[in-house]
Amino acid sequence: MQSYDEAVRCASEIIVNAMTDNLESVIGQGMDLDDQITDILRPIGHDVEEKILQAGHDLLLERYQQQGWKIERHPAVPFKTLHGEVSVKSPYLRKVGEAHGVRPMRLHFGIRGRGISLNLERTLCSFGAEKSFPRAVKAFAEHYGHSLEVTTLQRHTEAIGEQAEDWLNDQYLNAGNRQQQAANEMISELDGCEIRTGLYSEDRKTREINWKECRTGVIHKVGSLDSLYVCANASYVELCKNLLACTDICGRTNQTCVIAPGDGAPGLMETMVESIPNLKFILDHRHLESHFYETALELGYTEKARELWVKRHMSGLWANDYERVHESLANEYQHTENDRLRRLVNHLERFRDCVDYGSFRQREWPVGSGEVESANRYIPQERMKIPGATWHPKHLNPMLALRVIRACNWWSEFWQWKSNSSRVPVPKAA
């Protein structure tokens, strides 16, 4: 980017001199010095942007006219920027032999009538992806000194979310291009939560409410604090495909062991094992312990006996003695024929290779899925499950894509991609 150090130095000197001439007043409001300077710089930014757009208009119009383009319409349009609304001339040009006209200001600056600049769009999405839309508008006004309609922020955030979803899917498809240094072991977890959605009837008098499951996954190298995430209203198969892409980004090889602590949700373990090579699923020990407590309560044990019953069986699993624990439970079922106990036995059989907690702990593998539970609270729930929020189903995955891109620290990269994909070369002078 072009350096404007000398221009900045001259402008700074003018502002300093002006404030120094009124120094007593400045000192009198010394605690608000930042605000005083910001109040000076905001109108400067607005004035500079408006004049640069006018200069850009003059140069582009000249260059296109040199190539034979002629003005058909030449309106001035309102355009919102990070510094406020400006009025910009945006000609529509036609050329003999060309089927379509061109709008140079739209091609090179993104100028559309009642449109907004790319940087303003990024800022609105930053707020809209983190806060409710009404709160995001208030936060924007507080930071930038001018306001926008809630519907404007919401419309642009949701539209960018659709582009973010496509961009994110492209990152998964081309994960090999981002691959990091090879890793021996990785942690991968997957969990879900339900988000409230609603669809209005055609006459908009009634709204049908449904809860959609949004699943969140996390992946990182063992010992690393840098995690990648996936999150969508999608099947386990689709989420595991994206998780596999993230393991590739994190440096998975044919020898990498992927450790996956998780709960006993139907199909979760089976899909992860089938989708990700060398994956070792570990049943969350707290999840299993809760099953034991619920079964002991159903069996009618007193509180003290219940504690001892659960501790005895869980201690057996921590000692890697699955067979003894299973045999004890199976024998007790033969005497009680309790249905809850039968389900616990079946549950334990399903995860017989996933409960050697002592062995896992010796290898310093996690035996709980707390990490993905934290990610679940942050990525979908903190923004999508706020009080009173009801989402249109089609906006779920686009909004989650924005949240994932921010959580993965890909936000700047996404917006750089948007900027680069919009650029067109400036016509050469004749």
**Domain-located, residue 158:** no
Give me the number of domains the chain comprises.
3
**Domain-located, residue 166:** no
- Residue 228 has a pLDDT of 97
Section 186-214 average pLDDT: 94
Domain boundary at 77, 95, 116, which? 116
Residues 255 and 292 in one domain: no
- Residue 38 has a pLDDT of 95
Tell me the one-letter amino acid at 229: Y
Both tokens of 180, joined, read 């990091």
**Domain-located, residue 355:** yes
Task: Give the range among 31-40, 79-88, 200-209, 289-298 with minimum mean pLDDT.
Answer: 200-209
Q: Which domain holds residue 88?
A: 5-116
Reported for 49-52, long-range contacts at CB under 8 A and 24+ positions apart, including other chains, are: 49/81, 49/83, 49/86, 50/86, 50/87, 50/88
End-to-end C-alpha distance for the chain, whole angstroms = 25
Residues 324 and 273 in one domain: no
**Domain-located, residue 134:** no
The rounded percent of the chain whose pLDDT value lies above 90 is 95
Q: Mean pLDDT, the chain, as a whole number?
A: 95
Section 222-227 average pLDDT: 92
Q: What is the CATH number of the domain that holds 377?
A: 3.30.420
Residues 242 and 97 in one domain: no
What is the DSSP annotation of 251-267?
Answer: T--TT-EEEEEE---TT
**274, 368, 359, 267: which is closest to 321 by C-alpha?**
359
Both tokens of 253, joined, read 């090889």
- Residue 205 has a pLDDT of 87
Section 356-375 average pLDDT: 95
The pTM (predicted TM-score) of the whole model is: 0.93
Q: Which residues of 155-175 are buried (b: 16+ CB within 10 A; e: fewer)?
A: ebbbebbbbbbebbeebbeeb
Q: Does 84 have pLDDT greater than 80?
A: yes
Q: Write the pLDDT tens digit of every residue in 1-10.
A: 678 999 999 9
Residues 430 and 318 in one domain: no
Q: Write the pLDDT tens digit of every residue in 383-396.
A: 999 998 999 999 99
Q: Binning pLDDT at 50, 70 and 90, where does residue 430 land? A: confident
